[in-house]
Amino acid sequence: MQRLPVLPLLRYVLSLLPTLFLLVLFIPPLVSRLPILRLISDWSLRFVQRWKLLPELPQSDEILTAGSKVDQLPENPVDTEWASKDAYLAAQYQILRRDGIESLRSSVRGFINASRGRQEVRDDDKTCIYTQVRVTSYIMAKEGPVVRVAFATRYRIQWEQSERLRPGTLVALSTKTDNFNKICKVAAVHARPYQGGLDQSPPLVDLMWAKPEDAIFDPALELVMVESRNGYFEAARHTLVGLQQASTTDSPLDKYITGRHRVDTPPAFLQEDPIMDLSSIAHGSSGSDVAIAGALSTFNVLSDRLPDIEGKTSLDRSQLESVHRIISKELAIVQGPPGTGKTFTSVEAIKIMVATRRKRGGPPVVVAAQTNHALDRLLALCLDAGAKILRVGGRTQCARIQEHTLYEIRKRRASAESKALASARRTNIEEFQLLVDRVFGDELLAVDGLLEAGIITEQQCQSLRDEHMKATDRQKHMGPFSRWLGDDLVAAPSLRDLYPARSDLQDVETWASSSRFDFDDDFKDAPYDDVGEYRTSGREVKLTHAWSTKEPAHSRPWDQIASQELASKSNLFDIDDNLRGAVYRYLRAEFIAALTPKLVALLAKDIELAGKVKADACIEDARRVAQQRIDVVGCTTTGLTKFRGILGCLQPRSLLIEEAAETLEANITSALYPSLQQLILVGDHQQLAPSCSISWLGEKPYNLNVSLFQRLVNLKMPYTMLMQQRRMKRELRLVLTPFYPQLTDSPEVLSPSHRPDIPGMGGRNLWFFHHTWPEATDSGRSKFNGKEAGMISHFFAYLVDRGTPAEKITVLTFYNGQRKVLLGKLRRHRSLLRLTTFNVCTIDSYQGEENDVIILSLVRSPDRPDARSLGFLEDERRAVVAVSRARRGFYLFGNADSLVLGSYGAGRLWERIHQVFATQHRINRLRGLPIVCQQHNQTIWVKEIADWTESAAGCGLTCRRTRSCGHRCTHKCHSIPHDRLPCTKTCRKKLECGHGCCKLCHEECVCRCDRFRMWQVRQHSHAQHIAEVAADDIDKMSLAQRLLALGAEPNTLIRRGLDYCDRSPSSTADDSSGDMHSINSVSSQASNPQSTPAQGIEIGDTYRRNTRQHDEGLEDTTTSTSSSIIRFPVIRETYQPTSLDIEGRRVEVGKKAVCCVQPSCLTSIITTPAGSLKANVAKLSESRLSNIPGMQTETGDKEPDDESKGLERGDEAAGIGLAGTAGQGLGDFSLVGDCV
């Protein structure tokens, strides 16, 4: 008998199932007639709707499934309507869920492949591996129970700067022995506590599990944890839940979402009452203005158009039309090209909605933005407009907005938490604590518990009890198993033993410095900002593992041995001693498994109670908001679903999304609360698109990077476009003409006073610098171009030197690798060392921002100019953002040939941009970059980095600019400010004394007359020249000491170059002793004992200054001795015999001798007018001070004149303190040289 081909027949039947599946779904009459098809239809619908029942976090099978076995994703068409709302939501859910978990699935798959190949599993640019993971405790947080785990890392991690394990990140865990072959538990990071957590050894992190049953772990079990560096599930998690909830409710906006309704329709609340207050858009105080404002205060917004109020408002015509669309349409779409005032227009519309709400009452307006920065900016403008705002979400960086957060409102009004719910949760936690102590306590297993769980028999239990009676006191205290285990019982290792402190760990930032993950400067303001605080508060239930047993010596599986021994032995003491450790481990594992359902039930109940507490809190928050009479509630687009509870309780009617074209479609459709009657989308689909973690999901047919804004525009939904830009100079705006041909300029950007030219560029506010320097790739596979970055750093410094503030310059690039290279070049540039921060950003992080000067680094310069792929540069929307951020100056640096001759898409894109530069003659491939000397209007061309050295000296002509002193500068053209270049001309100032200054212009003005010295003394604080010297030390001071006490500095007593002198004190004294005789006592005006302290200082200063001026012609030289090389100044010229008058001027008295002194013996001593002088430094020895250069023997016979004799008498009242030196037996000496 011939056998039927069963397998081929089965394959054929299975191949027909998809067709049958589609028939039963889309041919309802056929299904209704055939009962068998009705059953198949019910099963098919349950299969299709399975996505509605999936938990928030992914399940283990979603992570462990191989790529070839992953369920086929539905398509996501963006140019046709959807058959139903359910089909639309199902596609959005499945694609978004895959985007959220695919990176973790890939990391786990890589770990499995590496472990199976017996390769070392290490961190890389995609995956972080954590070993020695152990559960330490449960934290009963307000959000629900979380598990705290300890782990080890290969590197020392700067957690406060690291992006590792940030809240909301998905992680997968498996046992050390399984390595994800069968076991995979998925959790989300709930918090990474710093104090007592990540900053200690071992680091701790809090995890929230997908299911309660996944949260039960033996603390003795060693786990391994995998984290993906790519993707961020928290950004999708709440949206996925929102899509599930949206499938159970209906919204008036559903008809637009499916694409079936494409006609402008007013919202329901306006159909009931179309009168709104538009008076806020009219400005002015004249009678006609007041009349217009009065008419607008009761305006029917359902009329065809607004009245003509041009000149009475700051809005242009397109902005007025956009405001009218926003306030009057059920679905309002407004496109705002760069610089056209999207946010300003939104705020004007919000002002109207708020004014109308205050008249009629009603719920607040909800506004949302993609990032916290954009949200804060929008809310700040609403606050300026007089609206009462509330920010939901705690990551604001604006102090003004911080006062209006939900957190602050909660602080002002205490929460009325349900006492019943709080009591029920406390009771549940107590039960959980008791059960955990039984399972994971610090004692050995309880025999009664094993018997109750059915793990051991009554006879086995009794055998332990009988022997326990013979145990020692210590064994009795520890329980029956202590005697039974004997020497097999050992203390379990503590956390300190398991994670010893290590000093050899390498800093992860050092290891990762070459990767594309950066931890400094501009932490990107991402849409996942609303992730809460980095700490967990709540009761901690600790897990302990105090006792263990020795590792079994045999190779057979110990669980099988233990099972067999228990089944065959009624008396546990009949089990061999060497097997008892394995049996105890088996008993413990079975006991944990037996009580796990109870632990899971208690955790599930705690989750339920925490949810009820959260729901009550949302109701209470909504009540607070109503009492505060809030006008506008703001959150991020992620927060729309994360805070769905409180936002839903507010029953909002209008939702405005700022930068809607950059927001994922699912983020908006999941937030369509049943109460919403109006959706406002403001954005620009020609700029940045929504981002997704998995690049292929952003392409056809999944189209995850197509926003709802763009899809509705593709479906020909009516919208309004803003037409007048108010940001860029006209020549810069022309770069956008290929993308926005209808864009016009506001009068203010045409005004040179509002948009002046960039200094140093000769009116060239737009330029394309072309080069052929090759690109490179870093270890993180990010592109960079080092020579281009160097050229930009010099250009940046040039602009700053020419007067453009550094904060007014932003450097943009498409690649994070280039961003880091640019930062390094700028920080190391010698002209920019004084700066601490630089605006260097990637294109994606600069959406919505602007600055006076934008420098764009294009990076890409492949070996072949016609390279087929240019990566990010092929994205037209990124290019539009890049070329539209500048207000006054825009400069591109890149390889123009590679851009124009690149791939088809990139070539067409950049050819249009290049054509604008070429048409305006703003590119010169041969000569490079033109910079202009502002003084002489000479153009200097910079082609290479080395050219900046020459151009820094200027154009080469004589400067001839008039300095602040009135002289013309005679230097060559220079970039250094004149205040940093000394003027070498003679000073022409007329001094207060009436005389002219004889110094050079850059020197301090002086005059030799008393009048000038009197004026100068009055201008200086006495405290700068005064030190005390004890009165009883005055008589011991030599003339040199007293001159130093007058304020003479050592470098004025000793000519320049003396700091090289290395003579010892003793040798100095010996060498000079034979040439020195005595010093003439020098005194001040003793004839006036009533001189004031100020006069004493005047006399001393005059003496010192005049002596220095008189000896300006002295020369320095170098001499040496036979004993050692000693360099010191000497006076070579022979002067006529001189002495010093009372003011320090020379008088002829005889010949001179010259000697030197070691500089280390000189100490500054400054006089005080208090009548007593006290040295603030060590006293100078008489022998050292006698060796001052310029002291010489008098050989002439001429007697000193009366003024010289007057100096001998001294005047202590004047504060000079030079009296009494004649009695010391010193000879007649006078000073020459530049001594004082």
Residue with the larger pLDDT of the pair 279 and 285: 279
In this structure, is the dihedral angle defined by the CA atoms of residues 34, 38, 39 and 41, taken in order, positive or negative?
A: positive
Residue 1110 has pLDDT above 90, yes or no: no
pLDDT of the residue at 856: 98
Give which of 1153, 1147, 1155 is closest to 1130, Cα–Cα: 1155
Q: Is residue 6 part of a domain?
A: yes
pLDDT of the residue at 14: 56
Mean pLDDT computed over 818-827: 95
pLDDT of the residue at 11: 56
Proportion of the chain in helix, strand, coil states, percent, rounded to 5: 40, 15, 45
1034 and 1169: one domain?
yes
pLDDT of the residue at 1050: 46
Residue with the larger pLDDT of the pair 419 and 802: 802
pLDDT of the residue at 4: 46
373 and 278: one domain?
yes
Mean pLDDT computed over 282-305: 73
Q: Could you tell me the two tokens for 318?
A: 């397109």
882 and 977: one domain?
no
pLDDT digits (tens, 9 = 90+) for 559-572: 777 888 888 888 88
What does pLDDT average to over the chain? Answer: 76
pLDDT of the residue at 1092: 42
Q: Is residue 461 part of a domain?
A: no
Mean pLDDT computed over 455-466: 85
Give which of 349, 350, 341 is closest to 388, Cα–Cα: 350
Q: How many domains does the chain have?
A: 7
In this structure, is the dihedral angle defined by the CA atoms of residues 559, 563, 566 and 568, taken in order, positive or negative?
A: negative
The pTM assigned to this predicted structure is 0.74
Give which of 774, 776, 794, 785 is closest to 897, Cα–Cα: 774
973 and 1075: one domain?
no
Using alpha carbons only, how large is the chain's radius of gyration in Å?
Answer: 44
Residue 984 has pLDDT above 60, yes or no: yes
Beta bridge partners of 855: 811, 891
Mean pLDDT computed over 379-386: 94
String of DSSP letters for 134-149: EEEEEEEETTEEEEEE
Task: Please give the single-letter amino acid code of residue 49.
Answer: Q
Residue 1015 has pLDDT above 90, yes or no: no
Distance of CA 524 to the CA centre of its chain: 7
- Rounded to whole angstroms, how far apart are CA atoms 1211 and 413? 78
Q: Is residue 1184 part of a domain?
A: yes
Tell me the three state secondary structure of residue 690: coil
CA separation, residue 716 to residues 259, 263, 706, 720, 977 (Å): 10, 9, 15, 12, 60
- Rounded to whole angstroms, how far apart are CA atoms 794 and 1021? 45
Percent of the chain at pLDDT > 90 equals 39
Task: Please give the single-letter amino acid code of residue 417.
Answer: E
Angle at 528 between CA 525 and CA 534, to 5 degrees: 95
Tell me the three state secondary structure of residue 188: strand
**Phi and psi dihedrals of 25, rounded to 5?**
-80, -40
972 and 1000: one domain?
no
- Cβ(217)–Cβ(197) below 8 Å: no
Task: Give the burial string for 852-879 (b: 16+ CB within 10 Å, else e).
Answer: bbbbbbbbbbbeeeebeebbbbbbbbbb
String of DSSP letters for 253-272: THHHHTT---S----HHHHH
Reported residue count of the chain is 1236
Q: Could you tell me the two tokens for 1150?
A: 């005889």
Residue 918: give its domain's CATH number: 3.40.50.300
352 and 379: one domain?
yes
pLDDT of the residue at 637: 93
Residue 482 has pLDDT above 80, yes or no: no
Residue 439 has pLDDT above 90, yes or no: no
- Rounded to whole angstroms, how far apart are CA atoms 247 and 254? 11
Please tell me which of 418-422, 658-662, 1104-1108, 1224-1228 the model is most confident about, judged by mean pLDDT.
Answer: 658-662
Residue 1166 has pLDDT above 90, yes or no: no
Residue 759 has pLDDT above 80, yes or no: yes
pLDDT digits (tens, 9 = 90+) for 1203-1214: 333 333 333 333
965 and 1042: one domain?
no
Please tell me which of 291-305, 889-903, 1183-1197 the model is most confident about, judged by mean pLDDT.
Answer: 889-903
- Cβ(1148)–Cβ(1138) below 8 Å: yes
Q: Is residue 1136 part of a domain?
A: yes
Task: Give the burial string for 1076-1115 (b: 16+ CB within 10 Å, else e).
Answer: bebbbbbbbbbeeeebebebbbbbbbbbbbbbbbbbeebe
Residue 608 has pLDDT above 80, yes or no: yes
996 and 977: one domain?
no
Q: Give the pLDDT band (50/70/90) at residue 469.
A: low
Mean pLDDT computed over 766-786: 91
- Rounded to whole angstroms, how far apart are CA atoms 244 and 93? 8
- Cβ(340)–Cβ(722) below 8 Å: yes
Mean pLDDT computed over 1003-1013: 80
Task: Please give the single-letter amino acid code of residue 524.
Answer: K
Q: Could you tell me the two tokens for 51?
A: 């996505």
Residue with the larger pLDDT of the pair 648 and 780: 648
Angle between helix 816-828 and helix 786-801 axes, rounded to 10 deg:
50
Beta bridge partners of 1174: 1029
Least confident of 99-103, 251-255, 775-779, 991-995: 991-995
- Cβ(1096)–Cβ(1167) below 8 Å: yes
Mean pLDDT computed over 1106-1119: 43
Q: Give the pLDDT band (50/70/90) at residue 115.
A: confident
pLDDT digits (tens, 9 = 90+) for 705-715: 999 999 999 99
Q: Give the pLDDT band (50/70/90) at residue 1004.
A: confident
Mean pLDDT computed over 658-680: 95
pLDDT digits (tens, 9 = 90+) for 845-874: 898 899 999 999 999 988 776 666 788 888
Phi-psi region of 1000 (alpha: psi -120 to 50; beta: other; left: phi over 0): beta
pLDDT of the residue at 86: 94
Q: Is residue 826 part of a domain?
A: yes
Q: Give the pLDDT band (50/70/90) at residue 493.
A: low
pLDDT of the residue at 959: 84
212 and 357: one domain?
no
From the number of C-beta atoms within 10 Å of its C-beta (0-12, 13-18, 19+), residue 7 rates as: exposed
In this structure, is the dihedral angle defined by the CA atoms of residues 635, 641, 647 and 651, taken in order, positive or negative?
A: positive
Least confident of 185-194, 219-228, 396-405, 1131-1140: 1131-1140
- Rounded to whole angstroms, how far apart are CA atoms 256 and 672? 12
Mean pLDDT computed over 191-199: 66
Residue 1226 has pLDDT above 70, yes or no: no
Residue 840 has pLDDT above 90, yes or no: yes
Least confident of 338-342, 623-627, 877-881, 1100-1104: 1100-1104
pLDDT digits (tens, 9 = 90+) for 163-172: 888 888 999 9
Residue with the larger pLDDT of the pair 36 and 1166: 36
From the number of C-beta atoms within 10 Å of its C-beta (0-12, 13-18, 19+), residue 790 rates as: middle
Q: Is residue 180 part of a domain?
A: yes
Tell me the three state secondary structure of residue 1077: coil
Task: Give the burial string for 725-748 (b: 16+ CB within 10 Å, else e).
Answer: bbbbbebbbbbbebbbeebebbee
Mean pLDDT computed over 726-744: 95
Percent of the chain at pLDDT > 70 equals 69
938 and 959: one domain?
no
Residue 187: give its domain's CATH number: 2.40.30.170
pLDDT of the residue at 120: 75
Residue 1174 has pLDDT above 60, yes or no: no
- Cβ(756)–Cβ(888) below 8 Å: yes
- Rounded to whole angstroms, how far apart are CA atoms 404 and 385? 15
Helix (H) or strand (E) holding 1071, with range, is helix 1065-1073
pLDDT digits (tens, 9 = 90+) for 20-53: 444 444 444 444 444 554 554 444 445 457 899 9
Tokens 């719910």 identify what position? 421
Q: Is residue 472 part of a domain?
A: no
Q: Give the number of other CB atoms < 10 A from CB of residue 1168.
A: 21
1034 and 994: one domain?
no
Domain of 262?
Answer: 254-388+629-715
pLDDT of the residue at 266: 94
Q: Is residue 720 part of a domain?
A: no
Residue 80 has pLDDT above 50, yes or no: yes
pLDDT of the residue at 498: 64
809 and 878: one domain?
yes
Residue 1019 has pLDDT above 60, yes or no: yes
Q: Could you tell me the two tokens for 565?
A: 């021994």
Residue with the larger pLDDT of the pair 154 and 1039: 154
